[in-house]
Amino acid sequence: MARRFRGSDTFKVDAKGRVSIPAPFRRVIEASDPDWREGLRPNIVIVYGDDAFDWLEVYTMKAIEEIDQQIEDMQRGSDERLWMEELMHGQSIETNIDDDGRLVLPQKLREKIGLKGEAFFISAGDYFKIWKPETYHKKAGSRTRKLAEQYPEGFDPRSLLPPRSRG
């Protein structure tokens, strides 16, 4: 099974838009880039989306290739495929992690989500999100709390996972 991103943390963003990638995240990025070798910079894709996105999604090359294949499987010319092509291809950039383990976030992306001094990283399995810390705590944190409030006290959210076949 492919390695996954796990955890969350806040990191400083310097005036040039450089932010350190958590070391465990870098290992996943490297392992998921088929072109990466020692001494090379691992590649990633940042999806910034439309105005409704106030976060950035950072995908490994393996994850983005899977999404590309899923888009190819959609009906060419359908509204859904056009939407996915615009989001995942047109509203994204391919970049890499520098030799010091940092990601350089272009000014346009920093401005889009309001990043200034700090960036909040949170795992989402085969990708991770970068938020302005205050926006994450205000929006995403409240969304999770609201969802949890729909269930009784003591509810185990792992019970929502679908059963897996064994063997």
The CA distance from 136 to 148, in Å, is 17
Residue 24: both structure tokens together: 């465990």
CATH of 8-133, one of 3.30.450.40, 3.30.70.1070, 3.60.110.10, 3.40.1550.20: 3.40.1550.20
The CA distance from 161 to 158, in Å, is 6
The CA distance from 18 to 109, in Å, is 12
pLDDT for 91 equals 97
pLDDT for 126 equals 93
Query: Residue 149 class from Cβ within 10 Å (0-12 exposed, 13-18 middle, 19+ buried)?
Result: exposed
pLDDT in tens, 5-23: 999 999 999 999 999 998 8
Euclidean distance between the first and final Cα of the chain, in Å?
15
Of residues 133, 124, 102, 113, the one with CA closest to residue 53: 113
pLDDT in tens, 105-143: 999 999 999 999 999 999 999 999 999 999 998 887 777
Length of the chain: 167
Residue carrying structure tokens 């056009």: 82
